[in-house]
Amino acid sequence: MGYFDAASAAPLHPVARQALLASLDEGWADPARLYREGRRARMLLDAAREAAAEAVGCRPDELTFTSSGTLAVHSGMAGALAGRRRTGRHLIVSAVEHSSVLHAADVHRADGGEVTEVAVDRTGAVDPAGYAAALRPDTALACLQSANHEVGTEQPVAEVAAHCRAAGVPLLVDAAQSLGWGPVPEGWSLLAASAHKWGGPPGVGLLAVRKGVRFAPRGPADERESGRAAGFENIPAIVAAAASLRAVRAEAAQEAARLRELTDRIRERVPRLVADVEVVGDPVRRLPGTVTFSCLYVDGETVLHELDRAGFSVSSGSSCTSSTLTPSHVLKAMGVLSEGNVRVSLPPGTPEEDVERFLAELPPVVARVREQLGAPGAVGSAPVGGGDDALVVDALGRRCPIPVIELAKVIGDVPVGGTVRVLSDDEAARLDIPAWCEMRGQEYVGEEPADRGSAHVVRRLS
């Protein structure tokens, strides 16, 4: 089968499984105790910390284990912000950080702090100059992911780190997506990661804090893990996390080259196999196993469901998937098409045949979904009202991708140079109608207020 969602969670690496089993019998006791079972547990914990620190590129006493990558981010941001409270309460994040970073930023804002979100370009990358411009005398902390979790784009960490260093501001790097592939470029002050992303067990995050970084642990006091992660240490999982990080690193260079070739195939062939597709993310500076594309006239939920039936597990940043009604904040920040969004993230070891089979199955799946939705070419539409220059499509109450489909159906009725207004109260339309215009070579004039929702004005150019 094709499990293509390694960016969410990777299956347990065989080394992780083996290390977990071996340490279940040796690592269950309290490592703070001085009796033999406690000493054994402490030895396992110390050895795991050394191994993980070596992989991260820090000293063992700079590294603490948390119970998840999310908690590593929360603890790291809160501690660094509190440690530099005297300097100020300004925080910088990129617009495409993981939700754990953005939600911690929300808490900081609600608590009276100030947050600057640095924009990204259409590939999802920040401009280092954007960080340089955002840095202020009262900036307490800057955060930047090593690579984006939804589109795979690598961020210019070293360049941003240089700007931060020059300003004396610590940089927290969320390395969740990249740590299995190699160390983060020099220059970070705090680093967070999550073991289950590289094939380690769930229940283990890493938080590294460089010596010299001001850090004031938050929350109730706890003597474990330098006060940065409260609660009893999960030593068997920690041992498994460290062992598997070392193992995936040993295979990383070779496996990265292989996966990169496979994702290059997807990047190149999907737009040839499926009409009206936008591949998003940087084509070169990107994670080896991740590729993301969006398909016009397709809804995310149905395409995920159909791919699942065909044996492929992928995720989507579209709105109208499961419980979310807004497109992913990443796609939004990039300003790219969000409808029919598919993220493929290959776990190490993915066989070439699985990718080939995916490339064979995808086109009929998309065709079926488009047919079901009455995408352009299928069924006629009944546009409401208007003279030549005032065609109106009423898509109120209809969710993504229907507003775009309705627009595409009527564009042929609009005289070249004339406009059409799409009435929509769907959040995704704000992203997808401009993206459609860009893909179709039409002009997105803008958004106007309407009695309900908004009117998106499009001018036919060709």
- What is the H or E stretch that residue 128 is in? helix 128-134
Per annotation, catalytic residue among 143, 164, 320, 400: 320
Residue 308 binds to a second copy (criterion: CB under 8 A): yes
The least CB distance from residue 354 to a second copy, in Å, is 14
Q: CA 59 → CA 91, 179, 187, distances in Å?
A: 26, 16, 14
Q: Could you give the CA distance from residue 458 to residue 462 in angstroms, rounded to a whole number?
A: 12
Q: Please tell me whether residue 104 binds a second copy under the rule CB under 8 A.
A: yes
Nearer to a second copy, 304 or 391 (CB): 304
Number of other residues whose CB lies within 10 A of the CB of residue 196: 23
Q: Which is nearer to a second copy, 12 or 457 (CB)?
A: 12
Question: For the residues of 265-293, what is the DSSP string, one character each?
Answer: HHHHHHHHHSSSEEEES-SSSB-TTEEEE
Q: Which of residues 105-124 bind a second copy (CB under 8 A)?
A: 106-107
Shortest distance, position 449 Cβ to a second copy, whole Å: 30
Q: Which among 67-75, 144-152, 208-216, 436-444 is the span making contact with a second copy, rule CB under 8 A? A: 67-75
What single-letter amino acid sits at 99? S
Taking CB under 8 A as the criterion, which residues in 266-305 touch a second copy? 304-305
Tell me, by CB under 8 A, how many residues bind a second copy. 63
Q: Please identify which residue in 9, 115, 256, 275 interacts with a second copy, judged by CB under 8 A.
A: 9
CA separation, residue 62 to residues 46, 163, 192 (Å)? 12, 23, 12
Q: Beta strands 391-394 and 90-94: pairing type? A: unpaired
The minimum distance between CB 442 and a second copy, in angstroms, equals: 34
Cα separation, 430 vs 238, whole angstroms = 44
Shortest reach from residue 78's CB to a second copy, in Å: 8
71 binds a second copy (CB under 8 A): yes
Q: What phi, psi does 341 have (nearest 5°)? A: -80, 135
Task: Establish if 69 lies at the interface with a second copy (CB under 8 A).
Answer: yes
Q: Which is nearer to a second copy, 342 or 408 (CB)?
A: 342
In terms of CB distance, is 277 or 314 closer to a second copy? 314
Q: Is the distance from CB of 180 to CB of 124 less than 8 angstroms? A: no
The residues in 190-249 that bind a second copy, with binding defined as CB under 8 A, are 194, 196, 201-203, 205, 219-222, 230-237
Name which of residues 19 to 58 contact a second copy (CB under 8 A). Answer: 20-21, 24-25, 28-30, 32-38
Instruction: Write phi, then psi, for 294 (nearest 5 degrees).
Output: -125, 145
- Decide: residue 184, CB within 10 A, 0-12 exposed, 13-18 middle, 19+ buried: buried
**How many degrees, rounded to 5, is the angle at CA 16 between CA 192 and CA 245?**
40
Q: What angle do CA 362, 401, 386 make, to 5 degrees?
A: 140
Closest CA to 141 of 113, 170, 118, 162: 170
320 carries an active-site annotation: yes
Nearer to a second copy, 123 or 302 (CB): 302
For residue 224, the minimal CB distance to a second copy (Å) is: 8
Residue 217: strand, helix, or coil: coil
> Considering the rule CB under 8 A, would residue 87 count as an interface residue with a second copy?
no
Tell me, residue by residue from 318 to 357, as one string, x for binding to a second copy by CB under 8 A and - for no binding.
---xx-----------------------------------
Q: Smallest gap, in angstroms, from Cβ of residue 94 to a second copy?
A: 17
- Contact flag: residue 315 with a second copy (CB under 8 A): yes
Whole-number Å distance between alpha carbons of 256 and 246: 15
Binding residues (CB under 8 A) for a second copy: these are 1, 3, 5, 8-12, 17, 20-21, 24-25, 28-30, 32-38, 67-71, 74, 99-100, 103-104, 106-107, 194, 196, 201-203, 205, 219-222, 230-237, 304-305, 307-308, 312-315, 321-322
- Kindly list the catalytic residues: 320
